[in-house]
Amino acid sequence: MSQNKRAELIRKALLLFYRNGFHATGMDLVAKETGVSKTSIYKHFRTKEELVLAVLRLRDENFRNWLYRRMEELAETPGDQLLAMFDALGEWFVEDGFKGCMFIKASAEFQEREHAINVQAYEHKRLLVDHFEKLARDAGLSDPHRVARQLLILKEGAIVVAAMSHAEASAAEAKATAITLLRS
């Protein structure tokens, strides 16, 4: 399998896992839906977990690139970019196919603290905190790490509520709380 075919397999598997969940998506379904034989899949990924890890790495890269770009497009200053994150989330929540956070799902399905998939899911959140902390520092906020962690909690809560309620209001509600947080 060429690198292009491998990348295409990961992209298609991402959609399957996002739509169906990790445990509910068997390798037979991955093979059927991607058009790649199980033999070929297993030549590149020794286990389903290796494929899941590759999917999570791709989703992390795609999501963070999208989110950071939208934050920069929606606001000029670092403090305003932190708030614009919630506007970007509101856009995501109304997209066709929105089904919540793939990393929250991964962590829920692979709950053991040391499990590679759980670790990879948390790494995504850690990278977000690092970015938020940099913006908070650049905005001159006191205790940027605390602010970044609190914004992450607001962000994650908004995603969970949006996925459960099938409504985008949680993005605006989280933004209102973030405004209060940043002013304090």
3-state SS track over the chain: CCHHHHHHHHHHHHHHHHHHCCCCCCHHHHHHHHCCCHHHHHHHCCCHHHHHHHHHHHHHHHHHHHHHHHHHHHCCCHHHHHHHHHHHHHHHHCCCCCCCCHHHHHHHHCCCCCCHHHHHHHHHHHHHHHHHHHHHHHCCCCCHHHHHHHHHHHHHHHHHHHHHHCCCHHHHHHHHHHHHHHHC
- CATH class of residue range 50-183: mainly alpha
Task: Specify the pLDDT at position 4.
Answer: 82
Taking only the tens place, the pLDDT of each residue in 89-140 is: 999 999 999 999 999 999 999 999 999 999 999 999 999 999 999 999 999 9
Instruction: Kindly state the average pLDDT of the residues 41-67.
Output: 96
Taking only the tens place, the pLDDT of each residue in 26-52 is: 999 999 999 999 999 998 899 999 999
Task: Specify the pLDDT at position 1.
Answer: 55
Q: Where are the domains of the chain?
A: 50-183
Q: What global pTM score does this model have? A: 0.93
